[in-house]
Amino acid sequence: AAPAPLTVQPPAVALAGPRDRQQLLVAAGHGPAGAIDHTAAATYRSLRPDVADVSADGVVRPRGDGTADVIVSAGGAEVRVP
**What pLDDT, in 10s, does the model give residues 23-33?**
999 998 766 66
Q: What is the pLDDT of residue 2?
A: 65
Binning pLDDT at 50, 70 and 90, where does residue 4 land? confident
pTM of the model: 0.88
Does 35 or 42 have the greater pLDDT score?
42
CB 26 within 8 A of CB 72: yes
Amino acid at position 19, single letter: R
CB 1 within 8 A of CB 22: no
Of the candidates 58, 74, 76, the residue with the CA atom closest to the CA atom of residue 21: 58
**What pLDDT, in 10s, does the model give residues 37-67?**
999 999 999 999 999 999 999 999 999 999 9
